[in-house]
């Protein structure tokens, strides 16, 4: 049941946050491996990107990749939050005196996140490649750099194309970047959330039944911490997933995580790794807030149902 609750909470949040994920992906791929001034800026900022996408592709383009995005949430957060809850219930994140252990909480968060990232990786791959797509006339415009354009017709077509070119292992291309991204993000998110919730509950800022209020207050800080720590890894992960590969699976732009970090730093500087920081925060903050609030509420309702007299 812990896995079901985590998946449901994440899908609910994903519906609202997917347009922001589209904007984030566009920002991270624009000007890939080009120094500032060496490419035409098609999307000037997040608001301008939303306007241009709506103008050029229609309002529904802001929900590009919604199906794989939601399935990614099921694989990622169903596993991640489910395992984290099981560990919490078993007291694995606490010291012998019952206090919350920072080291144990971070290790559990990282391990749960890594497993979730692996299971959700195929859907993240397809989601990224669909969200990166722009109209052909624009993507091939003079000096416009918007990342590799795959021209998938939808999720099924994307999986079919990848399987034909690379076989079953092809759907896990870029998984190493996703595992590192989520390990870092999960550690920041769940550790911050756990300590914030514990602090709020110990100081009795809200009543015991005020689940929404406690989760909302805790998740406010989560978005800031997660965005600052995860953005460089998120940028690298997006680029690894979106690059084209040869028949053997070798990336044509990057050979792996560290090569992507090195090439991005060399061509774009530290600023390149933090490309899309505002869209990342704008996506992570509400997504984390909704995800964790839904999660806490669903757990509360589930426990309340169990405790009802038969």
Encode pLDDT of 55-71 as tens digits. 999 999 999 999 999 99
What secondary structure letter does DSSP report for 144? B
Q: What is the pLDDT of residue 309?
A: 66
The span from the CA of 194 to the CA of 233, in Å, is 23
Instruction: Give me the domains of the chain, ranges plus CATH numbers.
Output: 2-307 (1.50.40.10)
The shares of helix, strand and coil residues in the chain, as percent rounded to the nearest 5, are: 75, 0, 25
User: In the 8-state DSSP scheme, what is residue 157?
Assistant: H
Q: Which of 11, 129, 24 is nearest to 73 (CA)?
A: 11
C-alpha to C-alpha distance for 142 and 67, rounded to whole angstroms: 32
In the prediction, which pLDDT does 302 show? 78
Element holding 253 (H helix, E strand):
none
* Residue-level pLDDT at 287: 80
CB atoms within 10 A of CB 80: 30
Q: How far is CA 55 from the centre of its chain?
A: 26
Distances (CA, A) of 97 to 59, 91, 118: 54, 11, 34
Q: Exposed, middle or buried: residue 270 (CB in 10 Å: 0-12, 13-18, 19+)?
A: exposed
* Helix, coil or strand: residue 3: helix
Q: Helix/strand/coil (H, E, C) string of 228-245?
A: HHHHHHHHHHHHHHHCCE
Name the token pair of 175: 């998984």
Spatial separation of the C-alpha atoms in residues 107 and 114, rounded to whole Å = 10
Q: Look at residue 247 in the predicted model and tell me its pLDDT.
A: 82
Selection from 108, 161, 95, 109 nearest residue 133 by Cα: 161
Quote the CA–CA distance of 62 and 294 in Å, as a whole number.
23
Q: What span, in angstroms and rounded, lies between the C-alpha atoms of 289 and 226?
A: 12
pLDDT of residue 276: 84
- Residues in the chain where the model's pLDDT stays below 70: 141-142, 309-310
To which residue do tokens 């984290």 refer?
Answer: 84
Q: What is the DSSP letter of 94?
A: B
- Residue 72 structure tokens: 């990614």
251 three-class SS:
strand
């Amino acid at each position: 049941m812990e896995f079901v609750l985590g998946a449901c909470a994440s899908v609910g949040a994903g519906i609202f946050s997917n347009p922001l994920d589209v904007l984030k992906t566009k920002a991270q791929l624009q000007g890939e491996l080009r120094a500032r001034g060496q490419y035409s800026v098609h999307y000037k900022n997040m608001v301008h990107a939303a306007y241009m996408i709506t103008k050029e592709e229609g309002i529904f383009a802001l929900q590009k990749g919604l199906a794989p995005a939601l399935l990614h949430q099921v694989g990622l957060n169903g596993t991640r939050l489910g395992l984290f809850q099981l560990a919490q219930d078993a007291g694995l994140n606490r010291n012998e005196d019952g206090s919350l252990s920072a080291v144990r909480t971070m290790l559990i968060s990282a391990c749960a996140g890594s497993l979730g990232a692996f299971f959700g990786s195929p859907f993240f791959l397809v989601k990224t490649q669909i969200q990166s797509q722009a109209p052909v006339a624009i993507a091939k415009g003079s000096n416009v750099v918007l990342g590799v354009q795959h021209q998938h017709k939808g999720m099924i077509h994307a999986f079919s194309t990848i399987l034909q070119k690379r076989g079953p292992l092809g759907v896990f291309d870029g998984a190493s970047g996703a595992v590192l991204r989520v390990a870092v993000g999960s550690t920041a998110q769940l550790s911050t959330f756990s300590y914030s919730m514990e602090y709020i509950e110990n100081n009795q800022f809200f009543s015991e039944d005020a689940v929404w209020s406690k989760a909302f207050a805790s998740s406010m800080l989560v978005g800031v911490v997660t965005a600052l720590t995860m953005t460089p890894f998120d940028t690298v992960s997006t680029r690894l997933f979106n690059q084209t590969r040869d028949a053997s699976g070798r990336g044509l732009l990057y050979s792996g995580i560290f090569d992507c970090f090195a090439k991005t730093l060399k061509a774009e500087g530290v600023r390149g790794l933090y490309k899309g920081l505002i869209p990342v925060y704008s996506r992570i903050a509400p997504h984390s807030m909704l995800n964790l609030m839904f999660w806490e509420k669903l757990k509360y309702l589930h426990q309340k149902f169990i405790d009802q007299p038969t």
